[in-house]
Chain A
Amino acid sequence: MSIVIEVDGRTLGADEGMTILQALRRAGMDAPTLCYHPNLTPVNVCRACVVEVEGSRALVPSCSRRVEPGMRVRTDTERVRRARKVVLEMLASSVDTSTAPELAAHLAAYHGDPARFGSDVARVLEPLRDDNDLYVRDYAKCILCYKCVEACGEDAQHTFALTVAGRGFAARIDTGADAPLLESRCVFCGNCVAVCPTGALMPLIEHRMRQAGEWDESRQHVAETICPYCGVGCALELHVQGNRIVKVTSPADHDITRGNLCVKGRFGFTYVNPDPGGR
């Protein structure tokens, strides 16, 4: 603890190089986040985590701003609460949040009312992109957190199959001229799916089960194992519902995988199920 900062009148210790958010969380405090992921470079675009820092005219994203000695931070002012609430309302007023539990929870915590902008406001309207056997893309749920772009690119996979295209309210995640995934650079590792916070990217099996009303996380348990495909030894979490594996993830805090897998580890599990022919 080489640095001392003040947060809401409390004195906190922090390590040099830490972000404000990391210092907050270590001290048992928090800020709402959507685009932040511990394994990805902070892009600080959702602005849900903003705080007041003495000396800064505008609010400051706590996920990316590093602590400085003597920094004075406020997380509970009217200005901070108002900005966070309106940002969450803006998002919820523009996308389908039905599979975005984090966003819904933050919105409730800030007593947000997305309907107050009116019922006839522009929303992100995109058709479901169901163009391959492994995962679907429902950009009507996308909050443009950039996590998938980062996971596909420099922060994990180095495949660079994704970009943000267009700009402003019309900006979208794009495979390049909206190419179907099979004709894009995608290698189907699903690392984008793993970091998506809103369910805009979803394994096909989960999507189908949700459509059929069969997806029930309360009936699921997680079995931990090691991926059998190669010698790397990635940690797998098998999500099992009704004696069938319905999803595979890897722990985000695992030293080796950091939540990432390859196409085999993430999607190559259906042979285990009682009805391996089914998807």
Chain B
Amino acid sequence: MPEVRRLLARAGVADPESLEAYRSLGGYAALARVAERGPAWVLSELEASGLLGRGGAAFPAGRKWRAVAEAAGRRRVVCNADESEPGTFKDRVLMEQDPFAVVEAMTIAGLTVAAEDGLVYVRGEYRLAAARLRRAIDQAERAGLLGADVAGTGRAFWIRVVRGAGAYICGEETALFNSVEGRRGEPRNKPPFPTQAGLFGDPTLVNNVETLCNVPIVVLEGASGFRRYGTDRSTGTKLFCVSGHVERPGLYEVPFGTTLGELLALAGGVWRGRRLQAVLCGGAAGTFLGPDRLDLPLTFEGLQPVGGTVGSGAVIVLDETASLWDIVLRVARFFQEESCGQCVPCRVGTQRQLEIVTRLASGRARPEDPQLLADIGAAMTDASICGLGQTAAGAVLSALALRPGAPSSSNGGASAAHGRPGEVV
């Protein structure tokens, strides 16, 4: 299936610091239509579009928007731009290359759910993205597309940018709220859900950058136009961040349903003519898939049966020479470092998991280690407060499933010299 450019239509084409450039390429046509058709129409199109959240949890966007639109009291719109999933860079590209699209989409959200307060929480490391967003907001305000009277609708909507400060956990929406409120970024207990009580206790619509950027497309093309791409249950296109051992690492937009093999082919295939060992699909919170999965369609429904996940859209490719356990060890260390420490299964579980994977990766595995990893994984998955702990064992356990035998130093352990051929599938 070919690459398409819908979300990326303007990326690299339009000057990201020019409102005029954005408008000349169709920007703000969607807001005009929203102003004309009204919130009820937007909600029904969004629901009919089948758009699912692109931040990892795949929640139906229309349902979320309606819940906030129907909530009582002051409402808020938050754009979750705390992109920190290892191997993921799609939101950065969208914000850096097409910041007005994020601003326009948020404005549509504000008008639709009747919120006046919008906020973008941008990952602390993304300085350029934050600067471009601020510039776009400033220009939109001066053009009357944001502020006290949005595009002549008589409705107010403001956006401010808040920078994170280096904490993966703040991509979890309730941790994000705490962070914005000036607290430690520890997740809150759910329920209540953000649509009921979110930022500052108000009903809050939280969407990922990529999810929001789909909204103007739904508005302009209608639900049926949006559904021209993708499958019945995974509608539209998806940004995949392909990295690692491919010829052309980069961001690729393809319709849902494109197979893993087709995506890898777009990225030039495994580099240096080597064979594929595995793909880490979904980033650190994702799972390893073997080369037997190349025919798998990349959809929410297609990946689920094999324990996979679209997740953030990270697709990290390992060639035959890569040390799988070295990579698993890095994933385990990531979670150990990023656990907020609030709940026991994640705080201690990520630590114990790291210790055991360290043993495995250095060829010092004990016979009981696979069972220990399974037990720790079950406790983290079942009993952690938030998605971080609940996904912290996924990659490790999937690697274990791919290579049931514990590695020794000669077959892919981290102590193997760099570049030395590992186990070949």
A binds B: yes
Tell me which of B34-42, B337-345, B405-413 binds A.
B337-345
Q: How far is the CB of B44 from chain A (nearest CB, A)?
A: 27
Residues of B within 8 A of A (CB): 167, 184, 189, 191, 336-345, 347-352, 355-356, 366, 368, 372, 375-376, 378-379, 381-385, 390
B341 interface neighbour in A118, A121, A168, Cβ under 8 Å: A168
Number of A interface residues in the complex (CB < 8 A): 37
- Expressed in whole angstroms, the Cα–Cα distance for A164 and B185 within the complex equals 11
Q: Which residues of the partner chain A approach B339 to less than 8 Å between Cβ atoms?
A: 167-169
Does A143 interact with chain B (Cβ within 8 Å)?
yes
Whole-angstrom CA separation of A167 from B336 in the bound complex: 10
**A45 with B378: CB separation less than 8 A:** no
Residue pair B372, A116 in contact (C-beta under 8 Å): yes
Q: How many residue pairs between the two chains, A and B, have CB atoms under 8 Å in the bound complex?
A: 113
Return 21 A-B CB contacts under 8 Å, by A number. A45-B342, A47-B343, A47-B383, A48-B344, A58-B381, A82-B375, A82-B379, A84-B383, A87-B383, A91-B344, A91-B348, A94-B351, A167-B167, A167-B339, A167-B340, A167-B341, A168-B347, A168-B351, A169-B336, A170-B341, A171-B340
B345 x A47 contact (CB < 8 A) = yes
What residues of chain A lie closer than 8 Å to B379, measured between beta carbons? 82-83, 86-87, 90
A164 and B352 contacting across the interface, CB-CB below 8 Å: no
**B347 contacts A86, C-beta separation under 8 Å:** no
Contact residues, A231-249 vs B (CB, 8 A): none
Answer whether residue A3 sits at the interface, using C-beta atoms and an 8 A cutoff: no
Partner of A59, one of B167, B347, B351, B383: B383
Q: Would you call the interface of chain B mostly helix, strand, loop, or mixed?
A: helix
State whether the Cβ of A166 lies closer than 8 Å to any Cβ in chain B.
Answer: yes
In the bound complex, how far is the Cα of B381 from the Cα of A166, in angstroms?
23
Q: Distance (Å) between the CB of B178 and the closest chain A CB?
A: 12
Whether A7 is near chain B, meaning CB under 8 Å from some CB there, is: no
Q: Are B350 and A169 in contact (CB under 8 A)?
A: yes
Tell me if A44 is interfacial: C-beta within 8 Å of chain B.
yes
Set of chain B residues within 8 Å of A59, measured between Cβ atoms: 382-383
- Residues of A with Cβ closer than 8 Å to B? 42, 44-48, 50, 58-59, 61, 64-65, 79, 82-84, 86-87, 90-91, 93-94, 116-118, 120-122, 143-144, 164, 166-171
* Bound: A86/B343 CA distance, A: 13
A61 to B191, CA, bound (A): 11
Most buried by A among B167, B343, B368: B343
Asked if A168 and B350 make an inter-chain contact with CB atoms under 8 angstroms apart, the answer reads yes
